[in-house]
Structure 1
Amino acid sequence: MSRNDKKSTVHLFAGGVAGAVAATATAPLEVVKTRLQSSVVAFQPVHAPVLATSAGPVTTPATSALARPGNTLACLRRIVATEGTRSLFKGLGPTLVGIAPSRAIYFACYNHFKSYYNAVFEPNTAPVHLSAAVSAGVTACTITNPIWVIRTHLQLDPTTKESFRYSAVKCVKDVWRREGLRGFYRGLTASYAGTSETAIYFVLYERFKENLRKQGLLENSQSTTSTDVIQYMIASACAKLTATVIAYPHEVARTRLRQNDGANRRYHSLIQTLVRVWREEGRHGLYGGLGTHLIRVIPNSAILFATFETIVRFSAAWSD
């Protein structure tokens, strides 16, 4: 195995493991965030009967608003009270099935495209990181989009602990029956738009790491100290916070394009969805669930990249 092939394999493995660890740790917040982004009933009153079915109910804005607790903690409590603790991990199966190959594909592609663009642009500059991040993001989300459609359907299913649980297999059958292959690629355009967030993130992350090295806060050796891990986590968190706030509306659009809102679908494309949400719900609609998303995404990103960098450096040190 050549040195480049070995490096790609390490990045593939490290990306998969890091993604799975981060996704499992923050799964409950992912469920809450997705429900707050959606326009279907996402939180049932504690003692009210559940009217939703696997087909996914359609609600008016007033009904939807009444069904939403006021903050992340209240949302978590409502889910546990009405659906059981297991419901905090709805969609985790598809997430784990998809996150490892998704992150693995992403990191491997990022490493590959970074090498490619280093030969096109000035090496290790912002254009290189930007181009590599966008190329890797488009590749990964195109391949794995069907998995995330299924995950969204499962996360939005409000069936209680006493009633029938919507399975991934049944979800796949329902999507195929209603829309065929096209149904598995809903929200793909919004995912493409989301590569802008990833691009901003990687540019900032690489810049923060370089600044830390210049200040002597990161070692250039292959060994990784506990201080290095903390610095990676801080750099990752700061970069992710900035990128997320800038690009967040695409997350809301993606969720609404993927949700099942009945026969009369209200959301059809990225631009149409953004315009409709803005007209009907204003800024709050475009940034629904942002607080929960930030609470989730910053530790998720920090855990992800700390795990990734540690595995890569450990592998490099072990092979020397």
Structure 2
Amino acid sequence: MLQTIDLSSLRTRSNAYNPARARDVALTPEVAALLRTDAVVAIGVSGGKDSVACALAVARHLDAIGHTGPRVLVHSDLGRVEWKDSGPACERLAAHLGWELLTVRRQAGDILARWEKRWSNNVERYRDLSCVRLILPWSTPALRFCTSELKSAVVSRALNKRYPAHNVVNVTGVRRQESSARSKMPVSTPLASLSTKGRTGLTWNAIIEWTIDEVFTEIAAAGQALHKAYTVYGASRVSCAYCIMSSLDDLRAAASCTDNQDVYREMVRLEAESTFAFQGQRWLADVAPHLLSPELATAVASAKAAAI
């Protein structure tokens, strides 16, 4: 059985919350200096716990320092692979804060369209003898074009268009506790895609030092409802429903949601067509085989044999 988040524990945290003792955001001199110029503060939000807590904490900090510059939440819509509650969760957060929510999308299609196009293009090159090796359709931990193309690039493009003459602080909910790679990340770093002559852009990882308990405490204190991926389906993180970085438990949680089952079959179909498993040696088809038609299950079996 899938585990769900203990909501009674969250209520206890909320009751014990003391605004005067709330965890502060992490700061650098560079961030503080830009905020004093009333730079644009753009917070990337997915509907997940870290981005929600980050937005709440940053909003509190901006109010405390008297920041009067533009503030905006930015949600990158990932299309078919996104949890259905992600957009509404971002809308709830925006309404709570009284901030604008800017939703952006990759014009050339969602992440599944990108994977499908990557595969068809590679097959065409292979057929034309312009390459000698077929490559997998999926992004990987070492080649996360899903993040760069569907999040970073489209967000930067939208902010550049909207705020061409403003300094911009691009805020993320990255936390050191999440992974060994993130544990080494700085509090802030220059952001070339938002920097031009006479204009500065930087990335600010405002809650990078926070623990997961502090994240949940912040959300509970604000009275914000958690994303349904956590409370109903027992997922531990929110991004794509089926993410190249997801644990097996999170993939199973996603597949248990009827909203995610059509795209599950579409992704398994691409596994079968390409003979490349979604996560290295882990086949998405094996996560919820009961959702597959007999024809698709047979195609997967053939793909596995071909892959070997």
Query: TM-score, normalised on structure 1?
Result: 0.31
> Which protein has the bigger helix share?
1
> Which protein has the bigger strand share?
2
Query: TM-score, normalised on structure 2?
Result: 0.32
